[in-house]
């Protein structure tokens, strides 16, 4: 239990940029180092966590914690994941007025933003390999991203459409016809 808490505390403490920026650390700690789940299971968990209500990183922590140690594991992983952010935000709220106009703080955040984009992009390309994205199906994630970005389509509808499309493809195309 304590190990679960410590692993997710470290993930929550050293990740700036939200749940998607946590993916490389989750993959490194949970998949590669601890081998609690496989890369394919993480990919599946990410799909489920994205489609469930709530915070992406918390959903991932709940699922992994539950798989490892049941309900108490889910609780410990979740607390480990959210406590660092909660404590940091609490400290910032207490002292915000003192440094909100500080030039150094503004410059630091301008430098952090591109890094967060890289933290999100790197696991995306790595996960594409695990999801078997190739030249024949690359249009699916590209079209989904385009619809969300250009037309403001809700990611929920993109997920529903992709799931329905995958179901229909499996039923109609890959099933042998008598």
Tell me the per-residue pLDDT of 69-93, one tens digit each, with 9 for 90 and over. Answer: 999 999 999 999 999 988 988 888 8
**pLDDT confidence of residue 56:** 85
What's the predicted TM-score (pTM) here? 0.60
Sign of dihedral through CA atoms 46, 129, 145, 175? negative
Identify whether the C-beta of residue 41 lies closer than 8 Å to the C-beta of residue 130: no
In SS3 terms, 34-100 reads as CCCCCHHHHHHHHHHHHHCCCCHHHHHHHHHHHHHHHHHHHHHHHHHHHHHHHHHHHHHHHHHHHHC
**pLDDT confidence of residue 29:** 92
Longest dimension (CA), the chain: 74
CB count within 10 Å of CB 92 equals: 11
**pLDDT confidence of residue 21:** 77
pLDDT tens string 90-149: 888 888 777 778 888 888 878 888 887 887 787 788 778 777 888 888 898 899 999 999
Give 134: exposed, middle or buried? Use CB within 10 Å, 0-12, 13-18, 19+. exposed
């Amino acid at each position: 239990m304590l190990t679960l808490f410590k692993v997710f505390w470290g993930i929550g403490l050293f990740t700036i940029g939200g749940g998607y920026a946590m993916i490389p650390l989750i993959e490194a700690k949970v998949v590669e180092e601890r081998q609690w789940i496989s890369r394919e299971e993480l990919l599946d968990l990410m799909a489920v966590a994205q489609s469930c209500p709530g915070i992406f990183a918390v959903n991932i922590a709940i699922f992994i914690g539950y798989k490892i140690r049941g309900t108490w594991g889910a609780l410990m992983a979740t607390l480990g994941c959210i406590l660092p952010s909660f404590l940091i935000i609490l400290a910032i709220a207490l002292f915000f007025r003192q440094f909100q106009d500080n030039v150094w703080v503004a410059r630091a955040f301008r430098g952090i933003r591109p890094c967060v984009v890289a933290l999100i992009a790197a696991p995306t390309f790595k996960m594409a390999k695990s999801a078997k994205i190739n030249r024949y199906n690359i249009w699916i994630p590209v079209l989904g991203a385009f619809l969300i970005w250009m037309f403001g389509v809700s990611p929920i509808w993109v997920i529903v459409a992709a799931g329905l499309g995958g179901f229909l493809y499996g039923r109609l195309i890959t099933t042998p016809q008598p």
